[in-house]
Amino acid sequence: MKKTVTSLADGRELIYYDRADGTVRDAVDRRPLDPVSTASEIRRDPLLGDAVAIASHRQARTYHPPADECPLCPSRDGRLSEIPDDHYDVAVFENRFPSLAGGSGRCEVVCFTSDHDASFADLTEEQAGLVLAAWTDRTAEFAALGQVAQVFCFENRGAEIGVTLGHPHGQIYGYPFVTPRTELMLRSAARHREESGRNLFDDVVALEESDGSRVVLTAEHWIAYVPYAAHWPYEVHLHPRRRVPDLRGLDDDARAQFPQVYLELLRRFDRIFGPGEPPTPYISAWHQAPFDAPGREDFALHLELFTIRRTSGKLKFLAGSESGMSVFINDVPPEAAAQRLREVASK
């Protein structure tokens, strides 16, 4: 992998990740951009104890541009974009409209491919492996930033999810605090360790594998299953078999096998609802341990993949119980979801 670090016209960082070591990246961003001005602020809810990012500047972010004005495509034919070069393998840059900024964290955009009409599932295993390398490298870089407590690599795919740019891309958030979801998992893991002397994540994975009814696929270095109490209609958790706290801990064997396993999961998601259906909207989210939190070594890196589509043409909305009380009601039994995801395996 060849990594090239450069800057955009307004001073934001841009990093190219290339498969070929000899690739040269010397294109210059020629856009007349003003310096980035953000107003991100973190506020604490005194009743719930969680954090809310106030980011009013995001109201002006790019919203569903036509394909020939996509800011994530390479700069070609006289049209200048966020990527100055005319092609790229993987490109990462500081978000122009970040939810978190300055002392309140950091936000980056990860462009998976220069092909505007592709999706992650269309990537080759070599391309997907390069994205994994970029996620890992960014996690390591964020770890060196004093204002970042936790790194979240994720992808939103589909207009139903709220995606405003159709180009295949994801994001990385560097939170200046430990997120509420992660705090809950850390507390559960600590309680389980105290009561049983064992690791909670190891026990959950072992239970799912021994039961088998919710297992979606198994491989030498990875296992994917629908959780027993899945929140979403189709939700899969993907774990490396050797528990590690974050992406930096994956060994070479797990890294080599990840593209094959992950691409298979994404392609199954697009087949859940049958032929002729539009691509399945999904969120793909890496859960990583906070850098300095107590219990870090008991945390297990895993990827959560889920869709808000519950059946053909119908979405799962977060209505009264979910939004008001944080109590999810799932219309699809996890065992049925796992069975369907096994049925649509690649031949």
For the question of residue 169 being annotated catalytic, the response is yes
DSSP for 203-271, written as a single string:
HHHHHHHHH-TTEEEE-SSEEEE--TT-SSSEEEEEEESS--SSGGG--HHHHHHHHHHHHHHHHHHTT
Residues 98, 170: Cα–Cα separation, whole Å: 13
Which residues on adjacent β-strands are paired with residue 79? 76
Q: Among the options 169, 221, 237, 302, which is catalytic? A: 169
Contact 46, 35 (CB under 8 A): no
Structure tokens at 36: 């980035």
- The 10 Å CB-count burial string (b at 16+, else e) for 277-307 is eeebbbbbbbbbbbbeeebeebbbbbbbbbb
Helix locations, the chain, DSSP H: 125-143, 180-196, 200-211, 252-269, 325, 334-343
Q: What are phi and psi of 263, to 5 degrees?
A: -60, -40
- Residues annotated as catalytic are 169
